[in-house]
Amino acid sequence: MSTTRRHFLQAATTGGALAGAAGFSLLSHVLTPLLSGPDDGFASFQPPDSSETDDATHVLNRLSFGPRPGDRAELLRLGTRGWIQQQLQPETIDDAWTDARTRHFESLNVWPMGELLEYNAKELLDQLTRARILRAVHSRRQLHEVMVDFWSDHFNIDPSKGDSKWLKPADDKTVIRAHAMGNFRELLKASALSPSMLWYLDGRVNRRASGTDKPNENYARELLELHTLGVDGGYTQQDVMEVARCLTGWTVRARDKARFAVGKVEFAADLHDDGAKTVLGTAIPAGLGEGDLERVLDLVCQHPATARYLAGKLCRRFIAEQPVGTVVQAVADTFTATSGDIKKTLQTLFDSTEFMAARGGKVKRPFHFVVSTLRATGARSDAGPVLQDYLLRMGHAPFQYPTPDGYPEEAQPWMATLLWRWKFALEFSGPGLKGTRVDPAWLTASAGGPARLAAHFLGRRPTPAESNALVASGQSLGLLIASPAFQTF
């Protein structure tokens, strides 16, 4: 493995967190007065004061990674509907502070893509992970971050396969983040031609049949099963094979073969099967070349099963594990009517009575749990090895899910992570996590006392039993974070 100058610089900054260019902003971060910052909102800390989860808390819980101290006051100022509208237009929300905090992750802004290959792959994964955590914690465009989380699972890529190690940062930026609240058809096309995806699901080696060499069906199958129609979407094995034929010939310049423009996606007409095909009952004439891709994307995006499948997934994320059929159909109808406009689809979901009525009852996945802890406490973290290790132990480190179905959304697969959550809660609020700082005394004082702080975590006033437990535990912040109520949203 050749050592380039950037390699060397990257290695240096990994070794010493405060060295080099990346270290500069970390250093300024350390020098920033503890727990102060334009986004913390301690000045307007307004915990809930009813005995049940109110509208404001519910909406904050579902559309964000959990409320920060000042979030509730801001939502009440805008009104529930107003705040949702704002979140649905992330481009109108000033997020310069978050951008500044993640700007030092140099690799995430590298262009052209081939430059990424000069980085150490472990360093890339670390930067990608840190940026993901810090954006989820600090971004004011919370719904956008929640959707980034959603689509990262929907179009899951484990970059540990082949050149994906170097290409995933570009996928994160130009596929997932760029289209998270845009149009599904555009998102899908970006994903289909993402070099990282072409590596992960073998699209790059999918070529027309020749001798015993058959087209590689891997991407075609997941495109139908996971990305669009869903496993019960009514396609057949024949459809998978026909879609695979349509997508033959898309290649990526590989690191070990190409000297220039590594990572570039190219259509090789000689590897493409240009014969006639039939996909989902529709004929695709011979001779369309790379145009086959557009035809396939149109067919799958316009298929009613795709609208239902995506609506079902969105409803399971934002409403309940088993949402009623009527709301799923309403969301699917908007998806179809707007040709896959993600904002408008979400708008229908948030406007539904089912959404507003579904209080609590969903269990936070570990990433959500960790991020909501940092948000609730106004903690500052480097999102470094200690925090990432906890996510690994809980089996939910970003970009580390091996199979294309993405981390599960339902609660059951995460039920074995409680022990680690408790350990995290105790270490976080007691001795402290290396690289993460929180000031419990100041937090309590800002909230206006222990009862109000408890309400901030529980989303409602604590019951007398809970209040007694907090005192008797000897570690009230730890108990709040470890409590069953804080595991749900």
161 near another protein (CB under 8 A): yes
Residues numbered 325-384 forming contacts with another protein, rule: CB under 8 A? 361, 363
Residues numbered 390-429 forming contacts with another protein, rule: CB under 8 A? 392-395, 400-403, 411-420, 422-423, 426-427
CA distance 459 to 480: 11
38 near another protein (CB under 8 A): no
Residues numbered 276-335 forming contacts with another protein, rule: CB under 8 A? none
Residues numbered 75-114 forming contacts with another protein, rule: CB under 8 A? none
Contacting range for another protein; rule: CB under 8 A; set: 77-85, 102-110, 161-169, 274-282: 161-169
The minimum distance between CB 142 and another protein, in angstroms, equals: 24
Contacting range for another protein; rule: CB under 8 A; set: 64-72, 159-167, 219-227, 246-254: 159-167
Tell me whether residue 298 or residue 410 sits nearer to another protein (CB atom): 410
Tell me whether residue 33 or residue 431 sits nearer to another protein (CB atom): 431
Query: With contact defined as beta carbons under 8 Å apart, do 348 and 318 qualify?
Result: no
Number of residues that bind another protein (CB under 8 A): 50
Angle (deg, nearest 10), helices 366-377 and 418-429: 20
The minimum distance between CB 234 and another protein, in angstroms, equals: 23
The minimum distance between CB 243 and another protein, in angstroms, equals: 19
388 near another protein (CB under 8 A): no
The minimum distance between CB 294 and another protein, in angstroms, equals: 28
Nearest alpha carbon to residue 231 among 175, 305, 288, 296: 305
CA distance 120 to 4: 10
Token pair of 122 as six digits: 């472990």
Angle at 174 between CA 149 and CA 190, to 5 degrees: 95
Tell me whether residue 307 or residue 363 sits nearer to another protein (CB atom): 363
User: Which residue among 14, 25, 160, 444 contacts another protein (CB under 8 A)?
Assistant: 160
Query: With contact defined as beta carbons under 8 Å apart, do 68 and 375 qualify?
Result: yes
The minimum distance between CB 456 and another protein, in angstroms, equals: 17
User: Which residue among 39, 106, 158, 351 contacts another protein (CB under 8 A)?
Assistant: 158
203 near another protein (CB under 8 A): no
231 near another protein (CB under 8 A): no
Tell me whether residue 297 or residue 454 sits nearer to another protein (CB atom): 454
The minimum distance between CB 422 and another protein, in angstroms, equals: 6
Tell me whether residue 57 or residue 483 sits nearer to another protein (CB atom): 483
488 near another protein (CB under 8 A): yes
212 near another protein (CB under 8 A): no
Tell me whether residue 303 or residue 461 sits nearer to another protein (CB atom): 461
The minimum distance between CB 209 and another protein, in angstroms, equals: 18
The minimum distance between CB 385 and another protein, in angstroms, equals: 10
The minimum distance between CB 255 and another protein, in angstroms, equals: 13
List of residues contacting another protein (CB under 8 A): 157-162, 164, 200, 202, 361, 363, 392-395, 400-403, 411-420, 422-423, 426-427, 430-431, 465-466, 469-470, 472-475, 478-479, 482-484, 487-488
